[in-house]
Structure 1
Amino acid sequence: MDQTTVQLLCPECTKDWQSAPRELPDSTSMFHCPNCHATRRTSEFMRTDRDLQTLNQLG
């Protein structure tokens, strides 16, 4: 069984990681970086447009 993940990148501290879309809030909700605790919309943490599309489809 494949588990889809999206790539995230913090715009403030540049931490990068992966997460399953179902484990993230929707793209317009506020999200906190686990490293520096920066708070922004989840969409701003998506590394690519494709990651954002995946989040919107599967999240």
Structure 2
Amino acid sequence: MDETTVRLLCPECAKDWQVSPSELPESTGMFHCPNCHASRRTGEFMRTDRDLQTLKQLG
């Protein structure tokens, strides 16, 4: 069985990557880009609305 991932996109440096929702803070918690260290709510890093919904359901 494949592990579910969400796609992230940094709004500042445009780095994109995938990670398991369990490795992220909740959607309203603070998250820091591993590339440029921008700090925003985790939900702002979600690439699509579907990724955000997956985070809210599984995170």
Q: Equivalents in 1 of 2:30, 2:57: separation in Å? A: 18
Secondary structure (helix, strand or coil) at the match of 2:44 reads helix
Give the alignment's TM-score, normalised by structure 2: 0.99
Give the alignment's TM-score, normalised by structure 1: 0.99
Displaced runs of 4 or more, over 6 A: none
* Aligned residues between the structures: 59
Q: Equivalents in 2 of 1:58, 1:44: separation in Å? A: 17
Alpha-carbon deviations, 1:16-50, whole Å to 9, x = none? 00000000000000000000000000000000000
Q: Percent identity between the aligned chains?
A: 81
Report the aligned-residue RMSD: 0.3
